[in-house]
Structure 1
Amino acid sequence: MSDYPMRVDLLNRFRSPSEVRETLRGLEDGSVDMVIGTHRLVSGDVRFKDLGLVVVDEEQRFGVAHKEKFKQLFRQVDVLTLSATPIPRTLYMALMGARDMSTIETPPPNRIPVSTTVCAYDERVIRDAIKREMKRGGQVFFLHNRVKTIELMASKIRQLVPEARILIGHGQMDKDDLEVVMHTFVQGEADVLLATTIIETGIDIPNANTILIDRADRFGLADLYQLRGRVGRAGEKAYAILLLPRDMMTVGDARKRIHAIKQYTALGSGFKIAMKDLEIRGAGNLLGTKQSGHISQIGFDLYCQLLKQSVERLKGRKDAPKTETSFKADIVAFSEAAFAKGDPAAFIPAFLPSNWLQETKIRIAAFREISEALTPAAVKNLEKSWRDKFGRIPAPADNLIKIAQIKALAAAEGIASVEIQGQRLMLHRNGDYILMEGRRFPRLQSTTPQGKLAEAITLLLKF
């Protein structure tokens, strides 16, 4: 910001007491235009003259208590949250529309994907990885997240690679000692930095292009992604080696995390990693303190529906029809496989063709959209939206829209089920069938499947 008439200051634990006091005075009287800091910024003694914008970097590092403090402090200001891997609750709030979201998919210039390897703990792997990096003049991060045994691990590495210059860094060190360690490593005066997760964020050392992560099964998916991102920042081929206990097969969520970090190695995979994390850990409690966790008592779809209804009610909007109408017909094939087996003259296809929406996740999202279109207006808007997004709608998808229209029209009249059987249109409401003139089911005149659907819509419009 040197080109602008702005005073930028810093607030963290490495500042002296006098520097901190000067910064606090500047924030209160407005002489400091921008402050960059850690959690220290949400302390009680920090007061702003006219706060207008808050940028929260590495959002996943903040806990619930800090975020509640953010809500109190930053209630009337714009807040921009940055994260390569947002926590499940934050991501879900963005996906459901409670927050605006923008994704950056373009990597920095000359960035190369990191080669990721998962293997059993083996001292030969450790030795070879360190020697290979040293041979090409690079440096190594070795992550060992237990302060009690970090010195023992340093001794092992010295035995494996006697020529390596090793430094130790962790959060329990004196701040001055830690600053010396980091400065020494940045200057290239050491080959291996043996550290805890303090290196997860804020570390940018272009010459460090190999990271070994001990007991990778103990880390979360976002943690592994962030740690892997510490290397490969200067156009050099980088390596991430995830070490697991030899006598232990990863099971459950740990296995899913390790598989995901291996699967998503392309640049800009953070969003996919976060989506996978949401799938594994759940969205948590949107109104409480849990930032992850699955819904245990009700299904996810019902949860979303109840949440949506509550939001609509608070906004003063009329609830959608409570009746959920089922549809059955002996003339409809609801899948590509069923249509392929049947007689094309006797059946009409009603599904989303895979050659129209080729990506599975887009097809699933489209199915969800049509299942949530419960009113005739919603069905009409959905059809328009699909035309805008996907172009011409093929016959199978168009038939699916017509069936959604039939269900929406029936639901508006309190009809619980619609069934087309031969030439009969069977409508069920309040426990009884609706009969024409009290004696028989409504009759369809058309002999073609397409005509029967169109007739059903026409009859329902007359109710």
Structure 2
Amino acid sequence: MNNIIELFEKEKSVQEFLSKIQVNDYSYLVNELSIHHGFLLTYLTFSRSQKFVVYVASNLYRANQAYEQFCALAGFDQVNLYVVDEIVSSELVAVSGDFRFERINAVKSIFENRPKIIVTHPQALLKPLIPKARFEKGIIDLQVGKIIVSSETVRNLVALGYKKMPTTSAVGEFSVRGEVIDVFSPYQDNPVRINLFDEEIESLKFFDPETQMSVSKIESFRIFPISELIYDDSEKDQAVEKIKKDAGNSPRFLENDLNDIENHNNLERINKYIRYFASEPETLLQYLTDKTVFYEDYQRLEESYQHLLLDLETYLEHLDKPPKLDLFFFYDFHNLFYEVSQKIYFSEYKKSLSGVPLNDIIPLRGYGVIDYQNDIRNLVADVRANPNKTFVFAFSKPERLGLLKEIFGENQMIFENPEAFSGVKKGKINLLLSDNAIGYGFYESNSEVITEREIFKAIKVPKMRYRSMMQNAKPITSKEDLQIGDFVVHYDYGIGKYLGIKTIDLKDIRNDYIALQFSNMELYIPVEKISLLEKYQGSEGTVPKLTNVGKGEWEKKKTKIKEKLENIAGDLIALQVKREQGRGFRYPEDSDFQKLFEADFEYEETPDQLKSVRDIKADMEKALVVDRLICGDVGYGKTEIAMRIAFKTVYSNKQVAYLAPTTILTRQHFHTFKDRFDKYGIRVELLNRMISPVRQKEIIADIRAGLVDIVIGTHRLLSDDVRFHDLGLLVVDEEQRFGV
């Protein structure tokens, strides 16, 4: 890898760029480059300056890609990921703890003054945060011999987002037993145990949460928040008072949120009330004092922001918000550039940025190398046609390099032996082993770096996985699953509110009971019967009506629901019988193009991915009408499954419709599909309200005529005027949001 970096750094245009940014904190446009050049320039800037470098990708998908690349270049411990889910409504209903911990880990690096490459995207960078000084005030510093007040420490931990539990076994929990406080921070492999002697810290130890045995002793420890919104009791009381005042006569709208604020629950979801806790929230850029910010593609950043506004508009249309209530979701677009003295914009093309103030334009005179798609014949022809060009073939696998040696040898091509490599030879064919190299080319030096990825589509390490933003409802299996104030559904009694666990002595027998508040009474359910409870699942901002126990209300409702379900079941059975009696289209077996398309996937498939694709193809190759439900968390490859099946469909002369719930998701999928399908001559179109009416009519006409192979869209696809020439596959993304 060092050889590749050194070769890149020697380029005249790269040296010009590095020398300029070291002298002046200006705004620069770097054009005539590929995304790989941008990654390398960002990495070199970071390695030379050792100050924080922020890389702003155009969206969450590209941020994840950039993060992986920077981890390969700089090392995992030198890169932070600062991202949020891009769908406003889902982020406010259910939020990934992984994303939150990643963001706070980036903030942690700032407070520890450990410069990193921070990879982000517009919605994350525009997220309002409490002022930096308030966040810093919340950090708890512990040291052996320090005097602390146990009750005060407990209150501070709650303020930082930690949950008090009987025992500490999961990240974000803490527990208290006498003079022992256990805390599990997400930034450590094990929880820490604070042993007190009266009010003095006697010892600090990491311990195994399963065995409770000590792992190692430490002299000091820093407890960082696990939420970006932190507040103490005084700040909470002031905020609640202001919220209630602004809400006026809309207490039902607030009930869930006020409950969450009171109990420090769902802090990410209530971040929209941040102006009630901090009159002037800040952003990550304001947390950073000395930084260089790289912007991946200005035009796409603008597009991403516009789609974000539309998504917020859609969300607010369905939110019965009191007019005076001051909800704050994200800052304006210009805040991406606020308090940034050194800004560097990347643009692939030789052009300036309209309306963006620039101090200088630096043309890199670079280009992206050809993706050969396993086409060895064309690779050999291109190398032979450029005898004076410097070629560097940098592979991570010796067996791949050996295969290339055989190919060049069979074609009587002279190359530099990798076993005797002593530096890149100009005008020669250089072969070398290099982990995580990336391909690029330069016109000025007449040189190219080509990796196994561009030739063989080499298997890479799978990208980082994250839990889903939208968790499915599930039965309650433990009292730890419940928070005071949660609405629950009891199988026999109906909808109630959880009040906590109460210990009751009954006939000299002491037992724990679940306290539930119903409309007309409070009931106590033995904890052993907890399986009869499920969390109530309702839409954002709605409060369910509590059941009137003993009046037959719940039984009547269950009877009606049972009747409806029986009717629905009957309809579904009839429909399924009709479908099974009908004949579907029998798809042919995989073509060579299908195999090439699937080899184009740059990550290693999971066994579940391969099984899903195999099973669906088996269905397609029968003359049946078939439904398949693919379940998996974000980042686990459902889109790749859809693309492979879509490819098979199109190459059988059928059309594909891909339905997604928001304009942002459709745009993301559109770019992903375009990147993969364009090279095969497959036409992919986007249909949502961001497309002009004139263009929509053109696309719809082409869909009807069979000129569009794949169309990706929102509910617009379901309109009466959209008619397909021959639809073979319907993909419904996030089916639960369409009532499927």
Greater share of strand? 2
TM-score normalised by structure 2 residue count: 0.21
